[in-house]
Amino acid sequence: MTNTPATSSAVLLKIEERVATLTINRPDARNAMSVEILDAMHDAVDEIKDSASSVLVITGAGRAFCAGMDLKAVLIELSGDAGMGERLLTRLAELTLKIRGLPQVTVASVNGAAVGGGCGLTCVCDVTISHSDAKLGFPEVDLGICPAVIAPWVVKKLGPGVARRTMLMGGIMSGEQAYEIGLVDQLAPNRDALESLTNNVAQRLASGGPKALSATKRLLNELDGSFDETLVLKGAKLSASVLATPEAQAALAARMKR
C-alpha cells in the first residue's frame, strides 16, 4: 500500500508499508536548506512520527543530497535580514532534534553532495548509506564559519577524535573516504547501485519488531545524550554568531561570486 500524504513541493513524502521516504526537493539549488525546505521537513517529520512506518529514508532529489544552508539566505548583503542566519540555524537545530527523537529508524541515503548542514543531517540519522562517488564533508571552516549546530551529532557519529579532525580540517571527501572514517555505514559501488542498496537495507530494518526497534533507538538516544536540546540549540547560536562576523560574510560573498 502506498500513501502519498499532502505535503508541499519542497519535500516529497511517500509511505509504503513500513518504509517512509522523505525526499528533499529543491534540485536546482542542490537541495540547500531554505526556510521553506526546513518548514516542509518539520511538517513531514511530524507526519511520519504518527505513521505506521518503522523506517524513514531521507534522500535528495536530483544530483545532490543536500548542499547545506542556503547561502543566499544567510548572506546579509543579499537577504537584507541580519536575523535570518540565526532563524535558519535554530530551525535546523530543532529539525535535527526532531529527527533524532523519531521512533522510526532513520536512514540517510546520500545520493550526491552532502555538505555542511546537509552532511550533519546524515549524522543525525541512525544509518547512512552512500556511494563511492558521492561528496561529503564539513567545509564550514574554509568559509570562516563554524559547524557548531551539527557538531554534537558529528561527534556522536564519528567519535570525538575523528570528528575533531574532520571538522577542523574542513574540505570535502569521497563516499569511499567517508566510509573509511565511519561517516557512511554502507557503501554502494556507484550511484546507480544506491537505490537498490537503500531498499535492501530499509526492508531489512523494517523487518524488525517496531516496538523493539523504537525501544532500542530510544535507549541509544538516552545513553549518548541525544535528548540534550540545550547543547544543540546553543550550537545553533554559536554558528549564527560566527556566521554574522564580517570575515565570514566576506568569505561567503566571495564564494557566491565564484
Partner 1 sequence: MIETRDESGVLIIELARADKRNAMLPEMLELLHDAITSNTDALAIAILGQGKTFCAGFDLKACANDPSGDTMRALLTGLSKCVRTLRQHPAPVVLGVHGAAVAGGCALLGGADIVVADRHAKLGYPVVKIGVSPAVSSPFMLASMRPGIVRTRLLDTDLIDGEHAYKLGMVHELCDAPSDVHDRAVEIAESIASKPGSGCRETKRWLNEICAVSDEQANAGLNASLELTGNDEERERLAALWGES
Stretch that binds partner 1, among 9-17, 183-191, 215-223, 239-247 (CB under 8 A): 239-247
Q: Which is nearer to partner 1, 46 or 247 (CB)?
A: 247
What is the per-residue binding string for partner 1 in 4-43, x denoting contact by CB under 8 A? Answer: ----------------------------------------
Alpha-carbon distances, residue 254 vs 96, 149, 197, 258 (angstroms):
29, 23, 39, 7
3-state helix, strand, coil in the chain (%, to 5): 55, 15, 30
The count of chain residues that interact with partner 1, using the rule CB under 8 A, is: 33
SS3 8: coil
Residues 167-196 that bind partner 1 (CB under 8 A): 167-170, 181
**Nearer CB in complex with partner 1: 212/250:** 250
Helices (H) and strands (E) in the chain, counts: 12, 10
Q: What distances in angstroms separate CA 137 from CA 22, 166, 181, 228, one per listed residue?
A: 21, 8, 12, 24
The DSSP H or E segment spanning 127 is strand 127-131
Q: Is 147 in the site for partner 1 (CB under 8 A)?
A: yes
Which residue of 15, 102, 107, 155 would you call a contact of partner 1, by CB under 8 A?
Answer: 155
Nearest to 10 by CA among 56, 61, 47, 53: 61
> Is the CB of 133 or the CB of 142 nearer to partner 1?
142
Q: Of 140, 179, 201, 240, which lies in the binding site for partner 1, with binding defined by CB under 8 A?
A: 140
Binding status of residue 220 toward partner 1 by CB under 8 A: no
For the bound state, the minimum distance from the C-beta of residue 34 to partner 1, rounded and expressed in Å, comes to 22
Burial class (CB in 10 A: 0-12, 13-18, 19+), 164: middle
Mapping DSSP onto H, E and C, the string for 26-62 reads CHHHCCCECHHHHHHHHHHHHHHHCCCCCEEEEEECC
Binding partner 1 (rule: CB under 8 A), the pick from 12, 124, 134, 242 is 242
- Tell me which stretch binds partner 1 (CB under 8 A): 29-37, 96-104, 106-114, 160-168: 160-168
Residues that bind partner 1 (CB under 8 A): 140-148, 151-152, 155, 159-165, 167-170, 181, 231, 235, 238, 242, 245, 247-248, 250-251
